[in-house]
Structure 1
Amino acid sequence: MCARRVLRAGLGVDTVKGPVTRRPKIERNLFSDPMPERVEPCLALLQSKPPTGDDWAFEVKWDGYRLGVHIGPGKKVRVITRGGHDWTSRFPTIAHDALEFGLDSAILDGEAVVLDERGASDFGALQKALGGRSGKRSAASAMLYAFDLLYLNGHDLRSLSLDERRAMLEDVLASQPHGSIRLGEEINTEGAPFLKLACELGLEGIIAKRRSAPYRSGRGGDWLKIKCVQSEGFVIIGYEPSTAALGGIGRLVLAARKAGKLVYVGSVGTGFSHASATALRKQMDKLVIPKPAVSLSGRRQAYRWLTPALVAEVEFRAWTDDGKLRHASFKGLREEADEASVYVLQSSEE
């Protein structure tokens, strides 16, 4: 049974329709709003616990690549990453299936994922399908879980509430129920039990969205993310070579940002497969420099230092009292196209 069905069964709920007032379907050619070339995505703000109240909807937090799927006039599809790069050729099945909706124009917002045997998203599997960081392969097996509709048949929908946009998205996706583009489901429950069950199932966390809010680009607080396990991007500033470890990597040396500078935050030595470690070692050996790019105490003569160009996605449980990652595990490299942002240290973590 897939993870989403287990979640619904465990909570005793079904997917939510909620207090939605459905709008009439928008007719084509009634009037026309200019179709944006690109929409900066609405981003979820990290919170420690779920919000409460009837104005919040809850979804599973997917672990993949954020994409905007643009369906334009003349049956032209563009698949745009969070960083604004055109990855249409790297998600051919999603691009193909977007045309099957038969829409004049649309912009879908969602997350491309590859699912594991439990039905949960697997970031490492998605990276492997794409050929790794800066790879050129296409992820034909990837699926898009669409969770918002920003534009439809000549109409800009961003000023509408989330509930109104979701109702229209459900109508659009109902015409192609078995393709690679599927609805990112809402779960009709309170946030706290939903988060608890998501964590018990080994999922990354949940997303909370304000039902009454329009679509606002950036991290404004209308969308929140609550994680079971923290996962962030850190710069790789060096590594420890090893003749015994997978791919010859004993551990990666990591840095975060603080006051505009890079600061050492510890290391990670688990989470690698032989293939991912071997590929990573090849990339790192092209970036070797004579001394570390950040200030470090102690002697680390066995390490190789790197130009801080690669961003690792690292899962971790907490911070130590001296500002280092605790129980860290490597998940993969973040692409520039996916806005490989580096974690910024807050005062509580310093």
Structure 2
Amino acid sequence: MEPLEPLPVIRPMLATPGPLPGVGEEAEWAFETKWDGARCVVAVAGDGSLRLSTRAGDDVTARYPELAEIGRLLGGRAAVLDGEVVALADGRPDFGLLQRRLGVVNPRRAAQLAVRYPVHLVLFDVMHLDGRPLLALPYRDRRSLLSGLGLVGPHSSVPGYAVGHGQRAWDITLRAGFEGLVAKRLLSPYTPGIRSDQWRKIKHTPAQDVLIGGWTEGRGGIAGLPGAVLAGVEVPEGLRYVGSVGSGFSALERRDLARLLAVIPRDTSPFMNPVDLPAHWVEPRLVAEITMAGWTAAGRLRSPVWHRLRSDLTRDELGG
């Protein structure tokens, strides 16, 4: 038997936050649902074996044993695919459920969790197929090839997309409770690892990824636990403090945060600007996503609310 041809390592193309394309140009765009999950590149060899990689290139194949079905569905074809791993509740992504699967490295534990909290792989692009690179093909042609691969199974699907009618797609996803839309130019090539304006992500609620640089203690029933986290964003001069986030946490999230923050303490503030709060400082390694009403004139978060810990992201990935 001839050895299998090695598959290329392809980093996922990234979207730029932006507005919906205008009415005069929306016919040039496709609109996909934005899924609240963990980005995943799937490399499937001709023998059906596969490797699942995160946005940073980490191998997470053992974390999701139920996704081995992708190799069987391809029926001997080799491909590199792009998608999002989600955990569904009532047909919509639930990142809280997905968090139960993130970080699991023990195969036996992963198999147990696959039964209790199964994941689903939403596929939306194909970058390499049967030894042929597809990066230069336009989006609409890649999507046509992807739709013909038969990748619909108990744990995988290839959702459709709308051409034009961006406002209608926006309204539908808003009513259905999805995170937002991704608009992609029909003629856009696939540019690995690049945050491109050919893809735009438009969220229903303004959101911001921040780094946690400290925390303040809660009172009453949450004494000893984080009452609020101190948020920062990277700027050329360093880490800029942008405000404290104290609402939106569940009791479980506060306990989990206390455990994670306890192992990364530091003696001094990691922020370049002053913080007028009695705080416990930590190394700014943990990434959180918060929702907000916008920014104040002073560059602070307006009415921030905790959404989730981004355990799928590291500090180095925030800029890319």
Normalised by the length of structure 2, the TM-score is 0.87
How far did 1:234 drift? 0.8
What is the alpha-carbon distance in structure 1 between the residues aligned to residue 301 and residue 186 of structure 2? 35
Write out aligned runs for 1:207-222 (5 A).
Answer: 207-217=182-192, 218-222=194-198
Q: Secondary structure at the match of 1:276?
A: helix
Query: Which amino acid is the alignment partner of residue 127 of structure 1?
Result: Q
Distance across 2 between alignment mates of 1:259 and 1:337: 20
Change (3 A) 1:186 1:299: closer
- CA change 1:207–1:245 in 2 (3 A) is farther
> Given that residues 268 and 329 in structure 1 are in contact (C-alpha distance below 8 angstroms), is that contact kept between their aligned partners in structure 2?
yes
Residue 283 (str. 1) matches residue 260 (str. 2): yes
Tell me if the contact between 2:265 and 2:283 (Cα under 8 Å) persists in the aligned partners.
yes
Q: Give 1:69's aligned residue.
A: 42
Once the 2 structures are TM-superposed, how far is the Cα of residue 36 of structure 1 from its aligned partner? 4.2
Deviation at 1:164, TM superposition (A): 1.3
Map of 2:10 onto structure 1: 39
1:244 to 187, 199, 220: 220
The CA distance in 1 between the partners of 2:219 and 2:104, in whole Å, is 26
Give the aligned partner of residue 160 of structure 1: 137
Deviations 1:283-327 (A, max 9, x none): 1011222221114446423x2111111111222231112111122
How many residue pairs get aligned? The number is 306
* Residue of structure 2 equivalent to 1:49: 20
**CA 1:107/1:300 → structure 2, altered by over 3 Å: closer, same or farther?**
same
Q: Distance in 1 between matches of 2:221 and 2:31?
A: 41
Gaps of 5+ in 1: 1-33, 345-350
Query: Over aligned residues, Cα RMSD in angstroms?
Result: 2.5
Say which is worse superposed, 196-205 or 271-280, in terms of deviation: 196-205
1:24-57 CA-partner distances (Å, limit 9, x unpaired): xxxxxxxxxx754311211111113334332211
Secondary structure of the 2:8 match is coil
| Structure 2 letter corresponding to 1:49 | L
Q: Determine whether 1:102 maps to 2:75.
A: yes
- 1:272 match: secondary structure: coil
When residues 200 and 67 of structure 1 are mapped into structure 2, their CA distance, relative to the original with a 3 A threshold, is same
Which one of 59, 63, 70 corresponds to residue 32 of structure 2? 59
SS of equivalent residue, structure 1 residue 257: strand
Report the Cα distance in structure 2 between the residues aligned to 1:338 and 1:229, rounded to whole angstroms.
23
Q: Which amino acid aligns with 2:13?
A: C
Query: CA–CA distance in 2 between the matches of 1:115 and 1:135?
Result: 19
Letter in 2 for 1:288: P
Name the structure 1 match of 2:100. 128
- Give the 3 Å change call, closer, same or farther, for CA 82–300 of structure 1 in structure 2: same
Query: In 2, Cα distance between the equivalents of 1:275 and 1:231?
Result: 22
Gaps of 5+ in 2: none
Q: Matched residues in 2 for 1:128 and 1:293: separation?
A: 30
Partner amino acid for 1:104? Answer: R
Q: Secondary structure at the match of 1:313?
A: strand
What is the alpha-carbon distance in structure 2 between the residues aligned to residue 256 and residue 338 of structure 1?
Answer: 13
Give the equivalent residue in structure 2 for 1:3: none
Q: Give the deviation of 1:179 after TM superposition.
A: 2.4
Identity %: 30
Alpha carbons 2:217, 2:225 under 8 Å: kept = yes
Q: Residue 112 of structure 1 aligns with which residue?
A: 85
Structure 1 residues 232 and 37 mapped into 2: Cα distance closer, same or farther (>3 Å)?
Answer: farther
Q: What SS class does the counterpart of residue 252 from structure 2 fall into?
A: helix
CA distance in 1, matches of 2:127, 2:134: 5
